[in-house]
Amino acid sequence: MANYVEEIKELVIDGEDEEIVDKIKEAIDDGVSVGDIVNNGLIEAMNVIGPMMASGELFVPEVLMSAETMQVGLNYVKPLLQDGDLKSLGTIVIGTVEGDLHDIGKNLVAMMLESSGFTVINIGIDQSPQAFVDAIVENNAQIVGLSALLTTTMPAMRDTVALIKEKGLDVKVAVGGAPVNKEFADTIGADGYSEDATGAVALCKGFVG
């Protein structure tokens, strides 16, 4: 039998989003389990891509293509998944803080988290502190991720963390984005900071591990 799972993994690494669904269909028709496709094909590809990105072997546009391909594949198999095929590591609410419209990096982080096994609720850009709080409560999230790309929106990140603490929510707060650093994260009372998507995955796995 063809090594479908390996081929699926390679298609994700190469960012071949137009071929991925056909390959998955072929694999399923030939008896490969959906769990195998997801865990050893789609997700495993992201485990290869993360370190390649961190070492500079892959650049952002390539990673976005891979993440998009993984997403296309995941969207196709999601309705076919049975309980136990994909065990969620936990629920994460992620968004860009109020006043900030940048979402490329945040979406990349969201996709990497999803492909690593988390359930990700991506609430989008320009989200108020209250919107984050509402999403955490509604989704019973264990982690919230805040992204800010502008120095002028860093105070909104501070306000969001402050409201989360004020409400006494039992949630770990991860922050990131170009102007953010560990010192700022500590100052505003966040539980963790990472400078990139790979680091965000490691950080969030640490929160639930």
Closer Cβ to ligand B1M, 6 or 59, answer by number = 59
Phi, psi angle pair for 144, to nearest 5°: -125, 135
Closer Cβ to ligand B1M, 32 or 49, answer by number = 49
Closer Cβ to ligand B1M, 41 or 177, answer by number = 177
Closer Cβ to ligand B1M, 28 or 64, answer by number = 64
CA dihedral 134, 137, 142, 148 (to 10 degrees): 0
The least distance separating ligand B1M from the CB of residue 208, rounded to whole angstroms, comes to 15
- DSSP conformational letter for 140: T
Closer Cβ to ligand B1M, 41 or 176, answer by number = 176
Residue 126 and residue 197: Cα distance in Å, rounded?
Answer: 20
The least distance separating ligand B1M from the CB of residue 90, rounded to whole angstroms, comes to 14
Residue 80 and residue 37: Cα distance in Å, rounded?
Answer: 11
The least distance separating ligand B1M from the CB of residue 81, rounded to whole angstroms, comes to 26
The least distance separating ligand B1M from the CB of residue 173, rounded to whole angstroms, comes to 9
DSSP-assigned states of every residue in 152-164: GGHHHHHHHHHHH
The least distance separating ligand B1M from the CB of residue 199, rounded to whole angstroms, comes to 7
Residue nearest to ligand B1M (CB): 105
Instruction: List interacting residues with ligand B1M (CB under 6 A).
Output: 60, 94, 99-106, 108-109, 145-147, 149-152, 174-179, 194, 196-197, 200
Beta-carbon contacts of residue 165 (< 8 Å; ≥ 6 apart): 189
The pair of structure tokens assigned to 35 is: 């769990």
Closer Cβ to ligand B1M, 20 or 203, answer by number = 203
Phi, psi angle pair for 87, to nearest 5°: -90, 125
The least distance separating ligand B1M from the CB of residue 178, rounded to whole angstroms, comes to 4
- b/e map 91-110, b = 16+ CB within 10 Å: bbbbbbbbebebbebbbbbb
Residue 131 and residue 133: Cα distance in Å, rounded?
Answer: 5
